[in-house]
């Protein structure tokens, strides 16, 4: 029974993503589909963010650095080798003269994201609270600054748009579900449980023999690898890469999705990403083409969607300060179900 | 001589950053809240300044102060107060959402009016950008104004905090809010006072930054706030003095490093485009060495032993 009950915590988030994918695959026109694929990629990024922030309770502004590493490596390495010297001649020869296929670029993205997170995490995971938040923000600042200016590792200040678009709704769904499964497996493992114990009471966890620094570093590295992977999916969805696409706006958006959903549960991460994305799609369509509500056509000036999404976030936070899920995992109310079955 | 000039400009920028740091530090003291929307407070005040550009300068600045204080109080009443007991991460994201709301609200103004430009000019006050020449030094008036305003504002604030009842209550609340309330300090009035003062400081910072930038956009105040937040935490957010010093240090270092480094060069750390990396690296090192802040009075006490 307890095994079944554990699995439903995985089934809930996966089912949500599958539903979204099914909906976008069956009922959405191919023009609008990209918005839904973006939503699914956001699920992957937020679930990766959750692995560290949710389990450790430490707010990190730095996870988008790993998304950036993943996006840049996957993007730069999949531009066809015959066009690369022409568009980005200043690259290091190793990057300029080689290209890999898009599935391998996802592996590379995950690997580099993990390595970078591990190296950054060794010193930074000693910090907690506000100091940790600001130090990770500094990491993001450095990552952005390097990508924006150094033309030996990427397109620097320009946006490079020759990247093959391979993330369709099928790949995005498989990718997001994979990230969710890894996140689930981690939080159920002894390492995940140790870190969650340290989140609830650091002193007691330390007394019980938990090495908080090591557990945080492990989560940070895993989160970095998943973020890198999600960054790879993201760049193959956008078809272009520029340093500003993976900087503060994405950081704020993904953190907001996580907190709006409920920061300490995987279900919250998924629900937050999907809720905000769906509101965004609704508002974008309303401001572009107009939506029909009870026969009335409502149109709003462009840009209203951004204001609208901020209002939606604020309202959800004011109504449910602990997030939509309240930080709880998905569960079927088994006792109620059983009572219903036995009485009926 | 160019170095002396750079030094004076650096002190000027440091003074502006110090004002922003005090605004952020005051609110953090009473609410334990890192306000990412502080930059948008600066933006709102800067817009007020730009829209009233044809008015007499004093009236224009007065309006900017009123607007910033009003916006600051409104933020507190609508968002911070209901979330006062919520998780810190919820408060933080709420300030993101506020920042996002105000920034895009400002952007929307242009799509309504179908304007091609994306900034509003500051006209009459911009003449403060002219330089005065002393010997071989060319100093912009705005640097002098920044330093002067910084000294006056910080002095006034020190008087407020040390010589008035509400100042005493603010200091008490930032030391230990619960005990302060038990001793009869009214939470709402202390928080309102702190938020209002933060609004005034935002307006002062807005006036100086928009004069030296000569225009106002929906991003005015954003980069300053991010930089100051980093500086405040690196300096030590728990005390107003250390937070202010941190803010000053980051402004001073930013200005000086970018003026002294060469302005071209593609490889990392050979030119001033890599200045942010240098600053951020220094901040990381500072935080690793002193997690409570460079200028914090004492290092962290013993770890809680249950």
Give me the pLDDT at residue B118, please.
53
- Across the range A137-158, mean pLDDT stands at 89
Range picked from A63-72, A302-311, B99-108 for highest mean pLDDT: A63-72
The tokens describing A285, both together, are 């369509």
CA distance B44 to A309: 20
CA distance A207 to A195: 13
For A256, which of B96, B233, B267 is closest by C-beta distance? B96
The distance of B104 to chain A (nearest Cα, Å) reads 6
What stretch of H or E contains A248? Answer: helix A248-261
Which one is predicted more confidently, A302 or B274?
B274
Whether B300 has a pLDDT exceeding 60, the answer reads no
Asked if the Cβ–Cβ distance from B111 to A301 is below 8 Å, we say yes
Asked if the Cβ–Cβ distance from A127 to B266 is below 8 Å, we say no
Whether B224 has a pLDDT exceeding 50, the answer reads yes
Confirm whether the ipTM is greater than 0.85: yes
Give me the pLDDT at residue A4, please.
60
The widest CA-to-CA distance across chain B, in whole angstroms, is: 65
Give me the pLDDT at residue A139, please.
96
Range picked from A60-74, B136-150, B245-259 for highest mean pLDDT: A60-74
CA distance A46 to A37: 14
For B287, which of A135, A259, A306 is closest by C-beta distance? A135
Q: Give the N- to C-terminal CA distance of chain A in Å, as an integer.
A: 22
- Across the range B271-295, mean pLDDT stands at 88
- Across the range A267-272, mean pLDDT stands at 94
The tokens describing A76, both together, are 């730069």
Give me the pLDDT at residue B116, please.
45
Give the CA radius of gyration of chain A.
21
Asked if the Cβ–Cβ distance from A314 to B101 is below 8 Å, we say yes
**Backbone phi, then psi, for A167, in 5-degree steps?**
-80, 95
Predicted confidence (pLDDT) per residue in A292-336, tens digit: 555 555 555 656 777 888 888 899 989 988 888 888 888 877 777
Neighboring chain A residues of B94 at a CB cutoff of 8 Å: 313-314, 317-318
Give me the pLDDT at residue A292, please.
56
CA distance A302 to A308: 11
Nearest CA in chain B to A59: B89
Nearest CA among A38, A17, A47, A22 for reference residue A257: A47
- Across the range B110-130, mean pLDDT stands at 62
Q: How many residues does chain A have?
A: 344
The distance of A138 to chain B (nearest Cα, Å) reads 5
* Interface mutation target, options A90, A130, A303, chain B, most CBs of B under 10 Å: A130
Residues with Cβ within 8 Å of A80's Cβ and at least 6 positions away in sequence, in order, are A99, A162
What stretch of H or E contains B252? Answer: helix B240-260
A143 in Cβ contact with A68 (< 8 Å): yes
The distance of B253 to chain A (nearest Cα, Å) reads 15
- In terms of phi and psi (left: phi > 0; alpha: psi -120 to 50; beta: otherwise), the region of A208 is alpha
E strands along B144-303, which residues? 215-216
Asked if the Cβ–Cβ distance from A131 to B94 is below 8 Å, we say no
CA distance B26 to B193: 10
Residues with Cβ within 8 Å of A337's Cβ and at least 6 positions away in sequence, in order, are none
- Across the range B162-173, mean pLDDT stands at 88
Whether B136 has a pLDDT exceeding 60, the answer reads yes
B273 in Cβ contact with B261 (< 8 Å): no
Neighboring chain A residues of B234 at a CB cutoff of 8 Å: 134
B274 in Cβ contact with A156 (< 8 Å): no
Give me the pLDDT at residue A289, please.
59
Residues with Cβ within 8 Å of A188's Cβ and at least 6 positions away in sequence, in order, are A6
Q: Where are the domains of chain A?
A: 2-242
For B82, which of A255, A309, A318 is closest by C-beta distance? A318
Neighboring chain A residues of B247 at a CB cutoff of 8 Å: none
Asked if the Cβ–Cβ distance from A321 to B306 is below 8 Å, we say no
Range from A5-14, B38-47, B109-118, B264-273 carrying the lowest mean pLDDT: B109-118
The tokens describing B236, both together, are 């030590």
CA distance A261 to A274: 9
Predicted confidence (pLDDT) per residue in B36-47, tens digit: 899 999 999 998
For A301, which of B86, B93, B108 is closest by C-beta distance? B108
Torsion of CA B151, B279, B103, B25, to 10 degrees: -40
Q: Where are the domains of chain B?
A: 2-219
Asked if the Cβ–Cβ distance from A134 to B104 is below 8 Å, we say no
Q: What are the distances in angstroms from CA B299 to CA A142, B116, B261, B295?
A: 27, 53, 34, 10
Asked if the Cβ–Cβ distance from B281 to A126 is below 8 Å, we say no
Q: Report long-range pairs for A90-97 (Cβ below 8 Å, ≥24 apart).
A: A90/A151, A90/A152, A90/B266, A91/A151, A91/A152, A91/A153, A91/A154, A92/A152, A92/A153, A95/A152, A95/A153
Q: Give the N- to C-terminal CA distance of chain B in Å, as an integer.
A: 59
Whether B84 has a pLDDT exceeding 80, the answer reads yes
Q: What percent of chain A has pLDDT over 70?
A: 93
Task: Specify the 3-state DSSP secondary structure of B295.
Answer: coil
Whether A170 has a pLDDT exceeding 50, the answer reads yes
* Interface mutation target, options B98, B246, B280, chain A, most CBs of A under 10 Å: B280
CA distance B295 to B306: 29
- Across the range A97-118, mean pLDDT stands at 92
Give me the pLDDT at residue B112, please.
54
| pLDDT bracket for residue B265 (50, 70, 90) | low
Whether B167 has a pLDDT exceeding 50, the answer reads yes
Which one is predicted more confidently, A301 or A50?
A50
| pLDDT bracket for residue A237 (50, 70, 90) | very high
CA distance B290 to B299: 7
Q: What percent of chain A has pLDDT over 90?
A: 53
The secondary structure of residue B200, as a DSSP letter, is: H
| pLDDT bracket for residue A1 (50, 70, 90) | very low
Q: How far is C-alpha A265 from the geometric centre of its chain's CA atoms? A: 14
| pLDDT bracket for residue B114 (50, 70, 90) | very low
Predicted confidence (pLDDT) per residue in B12-69, tens digit: 899 999 999 999 998 998 888 888 899 999 999 998 888 888 888 888 899 999 999 9
Give me the pLDDT at residue B297, please.
74
Q: What are the distances in angstroms from CA A230 to CA A174, A218, A241, A248, B194?
A: 11, 18, 14, 17, 42
Give me the pLDDT at residue A6, please.
75
| pLDDT bracket for residue B305 (50, 70, 90) | very low
Give me the pLDDT at residue A87, please.
78
Nearest CA in chain A to B264: A149
Asked if the Cβ–Cβ distance from A259 to B304 is below 8 Å, we say no
Strands A296-298 and A291-293: antiparallel
Neighboring chain A residues of B291 at a CB cutoff of 8 Å: 126-128, 131
The secondary structure of residue A328, as a DSSP letter, is: P
- Across the range B97-101, mean pLDDT stands at 89
CA distance A87 to A79: 10
Asked if the Cβ–Cβ distance from A139 to B284 is below 8 Å, we say yes
What stretch of H or E contains A329? Answer: none
Residue-averaged pLDDT of chain A: 88
Asked if the Cβ–Cβ distance from B230 to A59 is below 8 Å, we say no
B73 by Cβ neighbours in 10 Å (0-12 / 13-18 / 19+) ranks as: middle
**Backbone phi, then psi, for A153, in 5-degree steps?**
-115, -5
Q: What percent of chain B has pLDDT over 70?
A: 91
Asked if the Cβ–Cβ distance from A150 to B268 is below 8 Å, we say yes
A3 by Cβ neighbours in 10 Å (0-12 / 13-18 / 19+) ranks as: exposed
Residues with Cβ within 8 Å of A136's Cβ and at least 6 positions away in sequence, in order, are A60, A61, A62, A63, A124
């Amino acid at each position: 029974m307890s095994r079944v009950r554990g699995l439903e915590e995985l089934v809930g988030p996966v089912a949500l993503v599958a539903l979204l994918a099914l909906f976008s695959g069956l009922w959405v026109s191919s023009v609008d589909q990209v918005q839904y694929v973006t939503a699914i990629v956001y699920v992957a990024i937020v679930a990766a963010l959750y692995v560290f922030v949710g389990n450790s309770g430490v707010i990190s502004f730095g996870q988008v650095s790993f998304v950036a590493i993943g996006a840049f490596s996957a993007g730069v390495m999949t531009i066809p080798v015959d066009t690369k010297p022409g568009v980005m001649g200043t690259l290091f020869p190793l990057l300029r003269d080689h290209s890999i296929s898009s599935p391998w670029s996802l592996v590379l993205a995950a690997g580099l994201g993990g390595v970078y997170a591990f190296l950054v995490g060794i010193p930074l995971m000693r910090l907690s609270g506000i100091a940790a938040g600001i130090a990770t923000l500094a990491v993001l600042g450095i990552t952005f600054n390097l990508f924006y200016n150094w033309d030996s590792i990427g397109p620097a200040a320009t946006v490079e748009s020759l990247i093959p678009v391979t993330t369709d709704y099928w790949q995005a769904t498989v990718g997001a579900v994979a990230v969710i499964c890894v996140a689930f497996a981690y939080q159920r493992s002894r390492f995940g449980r140790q870190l969650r114990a340290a989140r609830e009471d650091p002193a007691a966890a330390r007394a019980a023999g938990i090495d908080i620094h090591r557990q945080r570093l492990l989560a940070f590295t895993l989160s970095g690898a998943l973020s890198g992977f999600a960054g790879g999916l993201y760049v193959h969805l956008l078809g272009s890469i520029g340093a500003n696409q993976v900087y503060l706006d994405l950081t704020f958006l993904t953190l907001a999705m996580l907190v709006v959903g409920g920061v300490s549960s995987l279900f919250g991460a998924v629900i937050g990403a999907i809720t905000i994305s769906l509101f965004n799609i609704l508002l974008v369509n309303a401001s572009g083409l107009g939506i029909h509500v009870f026969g009335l056509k409502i149109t709003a000036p462009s840009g209203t969607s951004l204001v609208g999404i901020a209002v939606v976030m604020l309202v959800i936070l004011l109504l449910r300060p602990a997030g939509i899920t309240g930080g709880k995992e998905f569960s079927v109310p088994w006792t109620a179900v059983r009572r219903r079955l036995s009485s009926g | 001589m160019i170095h002396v000039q750079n030094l004076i400009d650096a002190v000027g920028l440091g003074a502006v950053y110090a004002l922003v740091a005090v605004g952020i530090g005051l609110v953090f003291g009473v609410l334990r809240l890192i306000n990412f929307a502080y930059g948008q407070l600066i933006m709102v005040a800067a817009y007020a300044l730009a829209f009233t550009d044809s008015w007499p300068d004093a009236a224009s600045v007065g309006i900017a102060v009123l607007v910033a204080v009003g916006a600051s109080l409104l933020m507190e009443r609508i968002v911070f107060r209901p979330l006062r007991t919520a998780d810190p991460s919820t408060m933080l994201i709420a300030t993101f959402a506020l920042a996002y709301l105000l920034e895009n609200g400002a952007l929307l103004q242009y799509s309504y009016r179908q304007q091609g430009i994306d900034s509003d000019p500051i006209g009459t006050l911009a003449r403060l950008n002219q330089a005065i020449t002393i010997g071989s030094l060319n100093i912009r008036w705005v640097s002098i104004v920044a330093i002067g305003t910084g000294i006056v504002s910080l002095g006034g604030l020190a008087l407020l905090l040390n010589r008035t009842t509400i100042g005493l209550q603010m200091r008490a609340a930032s030391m230990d809010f619960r005990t302060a309330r038990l001793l009869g300090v009214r939470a709402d009035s202390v928080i309102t006072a702190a938020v209002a003062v933060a609004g005034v400081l935002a307006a002062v910072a807005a006036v100086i930054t928009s004069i030296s930038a000569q225009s106002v956009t929906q991003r005015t105040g954003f980069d300053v706030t991010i930089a100051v937040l980093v500086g405040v935490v690196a300096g030590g957010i728990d005390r107003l003095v250390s937070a202010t010093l941190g803010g000053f240090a980051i402004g001073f270092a930013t200005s000086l490093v970018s003026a002294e480094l060469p302005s071209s060069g593609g490889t990392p750390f050979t030119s001033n485009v890599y200045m942010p990396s240098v600053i951020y690296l220094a901040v990381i090192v500072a935080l690793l060495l002193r997690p409570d802040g460079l200028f914090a009075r004492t290092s962290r006490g013993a770890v809680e032993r249950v």
